[in-house]
Amino acid sequence: MLLWIIIRSSFQSLMANKTRSLLAMLGIIIGVGAVIAMLAMGAGAQQQILSSIQSMGTNLLMVRPAQISSGGVYGGMAQTMSVEDAVALSLLPGVEAVTPAVQGMAQVAYGNRNSHTSVAGGSVTFFQIRNFQIDQGRSFTEEEAEGLARVAVLGPVTASNLFGANSPLGERVRINGILFTVVGITKAKGDQGWFNPDDQVFVPYTTAMKLLFGQTVLREIDVSCADGVDLNVVSGEPASADPWHREGFKHDTPPPMTSIAGVLRLRHKLAADTADDFRVQSQADIIAMASDNIWTFRILLASIALISLLVGGIGIMNIMLVTVTERTREIGTRKAIGAKNRDILLQFLVESIVMSGVGGTLGALMGIGLAKGIPLIPIFNRFLTIVEPAVVILAISVAAFVGIFFGLYPAYRASRLDPIEALRYE
Amino acid sequence: MNEALLQAHDLVKTYIMGDNVVNALNGVSLAIHEGEMVAIRGPSGSGKSTLMNILGCLDRPTSGRYVLAGEDVSQMDDNAQANARNRKIGFVFQTFNLLPRMRAIENVELPLLYSGAMNAKKKAMAALEAVGLAERYHHLPNQLSGGQKQRVAIARAMVTDPAIILADEPTGALDTKTGEDILNLFKNLNRDHGRTIIIVTHDLKVADFCEREIYLRDGKIVPSERSISRRLPLEQAPPAEGRHLIEPAREA
C-alpha cells in the first residue's frame, strides 16, 4: 500500500477526532515547546555571560587566593594576598596596570530611597582595567584611592534608582550608614542578565576594605597586560591548568621571577615543593569555566524538557491503544480484504508518528513563540533568548522518534489481532 | 465435469476449551463449481461460521484439505492467507463493515491498494457501476442507506475479481425489501457476470434464492430436506412465505 495514502488517512483520522488528538498531542507539544524555549534561554544566557566576561576587558589576569587543604580537608581560602602584592605586580614586565579589587554588597541610601547594591572597591586604574568609562563627573584620584576618601562613583542604574532624573553629582549618599560624596557616574554597559554592571557603586579600595567590609587581605588583584604579551608568560601558570581546580597550582619547575606566580611565591615565602596559595586566571579560563557551567545548565534544562517529551510519548501510546481497541472491527475488515500484518503495523505506526510529528511541529511553534515572547514580558526583559534552528530540528526529530517508540507497541498489538475475533468485536 | 473451483476434503476443526474438546467441524467435504451460487445454511452452533472462516482463509482447519482455485490454502501462514483473501476471496458482511472515514470509492479501492494493483480508481468505479452506485461514489458511508452500503460492500468484494464471493448473512441487517434487492443483485452478478457466490445464512428464505444449499448440523453436512434447484418447477418450490422472495428474481 502506498505510503502517502497511509499518511493521508492518518491525517484524516487525526482530524476526525480533533479534541482527542489535541489532548493526546499535548504532552508532545509542551515537551517540544519546553525543549526549544529552555534551550533558547540557555543559549541566550551563554551569549550574555560570555559577552559580559569579554566586556571586562581582554588582556586581563585575575589573581585570587587559592583554597587551602591539608590532607584533603578544606581549610578555607589563603589569607595571604596583600595590597603590597598588588604594588609588586605592577612592576612586572608586560604589566600595564594593577588594581586591588574588593567586592561586596551594601545598603546604599539617599534621602528616603535606598537599594541593596553591589559595591566595588578599586584603585585609580580600576575603571580602565575593568573597561568602565566615566559618563559624568570624574573617577577618584590617586590620593582619594589610597587615602580612605569617602567618594563614590555610581553606575547609571544605581544613580537613577536613587536620584531619579536629578543629577547626583556632589550629593551625599549613605553606604552602610557612612556618608560618601558622589563624584561621577559611569557610562552604561548594558544589562547582562545574571549581573548588571550598571547597578553598582565604585569606591576607593582602601575605603571599601577598612570602612565598609572590614577586610585586611585582598580577595582579588586584577592585572591588565600590555597588548601582544603572552598572558601565560606573565601569569607563570600554564593555560591548561584546570579552571575548576580551586587549589593552587603545583609547579614542577619554579616559575620565573618575571611572572606573577614567581613574584607572589617569593613574597609569600613558599617552599619549592608547596603549591601556590593563589590562582591566576585569564579570560580564557573564566570563559571555559562559564561555558562549562552553562553547558551543564543547558543539559539540565533540556533533560527536564525531555522528560516531559517522554511523558508526552506515553500519552500518545495511551491514545493509540484506545484507538486500536476502538477500531478493532476496522482492523478485522482490513485483514479480511487482504491487509497483511505489516500493513496494519505500518498504518498505526504512521498514525502515531503523524500525531507526534504534528504535535512536535505545534510544540516548535509554541517554543519559538515563548522564546520570542519571554523577553517582552517586563520582569523578564533581562533575558536574552536565542532560538537555534538545529535545536528546533532536533526537537521535532526527537518528537517523531518518540512517536515511533511509543507507537510500536500499539501498532504491534493491532497487527497481531486475530481477524475472526476482530470482525466479531462489538 | 471440470475440476471444482473450491474443494474441501474432510475438514475438521477442533477447539479445546478447558477439559472439553469441541469438534466445530467434524469431517466436512464439499465441492463448489465456478459460476455456482450456493447457500451454506445451518442452525447456530452447527459450525457454519467455522466453515465460513476456513473457506474465507481467515482460519485453518485442524485437519483436512482445502483447495481454492487450484491452490491448497489449508495450511498457509498469515501472510499467504492475507494474500489469498486479497486475491481469491471477496467478503460481504452482515454489518457491511465499510470504513467510516472513507468515501464509497475509497472503500472499494482498498483491496486493490493492498494488492498494489494498477488502475485502482478505474476498477473501483467499474465495480460501483456494476452494483448501480456509480453516482454516489463520493459519499461517505453515513450518507448512504443500508442497502446502498451493502452495495458498496459488494463492489468492494468483487473489485479484485476474486474466485469466490463469500457473504455472511448479507441481508441480516436489512429490511425485507432491501434484503430482496441485495439478493437479486447477487443473483444478477451470478447469472450475468458468472460470479461464484457463497452465502452463509441461517435464513431459509435467503437460502431459497440459491441454486444449491449445503446444510450443516453439528459440524457435519446433512442432506437438506429442502434442497432447491432452479430447475424445479415453481409449484414444487418454496412455500408461501418464500415465494415473494423468488418472484422478483425471475423478473430480473
Which ipTM score applies to this complex?
0.87
Q: Is A299 on the interface with B (CB under 8 A)?
A: no
Contacts A341 to B, Cβ<8 Å: 78-79, 82
Chain B touched by A76 (CB under 8 Å):
no
The confidence score (pLDDT) of residue B244 equals: 44
* Contact across the interface for B115 and A420, Cβ inside 8 Å: no
Residue B239 has pLDDT above 50, yes or no: no
- Whether the per-residue pLDDT at B250 is higher than 50: the answer is no
Who has greater pLDDT, B245 or A102?
A: A102
Give the C-alpha separation, B87 to B66, whole Å.
16
pLDDT (0 to 100) of residue B229: 47
User: How far B77 CA lies from chain A's nearest CA (Å)?
Assistant: 11
Residues of B in contact with A336 (CB under 8 A): 56, 58, 85, 91, 93, 97
State the pLDDT at residue B251. 38
The residues in B 37-76 lying below 8 A from A, measured between CB atoms, are 53, 56, 58-59
B250 vs A65, which has greater pLDDT? A65
Chain B contact present for A178, CB below 8 A: no
For residue B252, the model assigns a pLDDT of 35
Tell me, what's the pLDDT at A381?
76
Query: Are A407 and A353 within 8 A, CB to CB?
Result: yes
Supply the pLDDT for residue A212: 92
Going along chain B from its start, the domains and CATH numbers come out as 37-60+88-221 (3.40.50.300)
- Please give the mean pLDDT across all residues of chain B: 87
SS3 B3: coil
Q: Which of the pair, A64 or B228, is modelled with greater confidence? A: A64
Q: Which residues of B touch A339 (CB under 8 A)?
A: 82, 86, 114
CA A288 to chain centre: 12
Domain boundary assignment for chain A: 2-52+288-423, 60-283
Indicate yes or no: CB of A334 within 8 angstroms of CB of B115.
no
Nearest CB partner across the interface for A341, out of B78, B87, B113: B78
Q: pLDDT tier at B238 (50, 70, 90 boundaries)? A: very low
pLDDT of residue A192: 64
pTM: 0.71
Distances (CA, A) of A364 to A38, B84, B192: 12, 46, 59
Q: Of A42-46, A259-263, B21-25, B124-128, which gets the smallest average pLDDT? A: A42-46
Q: What pLDDT, on the 0 to 100 scale, is given for residue B52?
A: 94
Q: What parts of chain A have a pLDDT lower than 50?
A: none
* A329 chain-B contacts, CB cut-off 8 A: 97
The single-letter DSSP state of residue B252 is -
Least CB–CB distance from A338: residue in B86, B93, B99 = B86
Task: Decide if A13 touches B, using CB distance below 8 A.
Answer: yes
Q: Model confidence at B237, in pLDDT bands (50, 70, 90)?
A: very low
Is B85 in CB contact (< 8 Å) with chain A? Answer: yes
Q: What is the pLDDT of residues B141-154, one digit of tens each?
A: 999 999 999 999 99
Identify whether the C-beta of residue B128 lies closer than 8 Å to the C-beta of residue B150.
no
pLDDT at A194: 64
In this prediction, residue A72 carries a pLDDT of 67
Q: What integer pLDDT is reported at residue A9 of this predicted model?
A: 86
Question: What integer pLDDT is reported at residue A71 of this predicted model?
Answer: 67
Answer yes or no: do B93 and A12 touch at CB < 8 A. no
Confidence bin at B182 (pLDDT 50/70/90) = very high
pLDDT at site B72: 92
Taking 3-state DSSP, the helix, strand and coil percentages for chain B, each rounded to the nearest 5, stand at 40, 25, 35
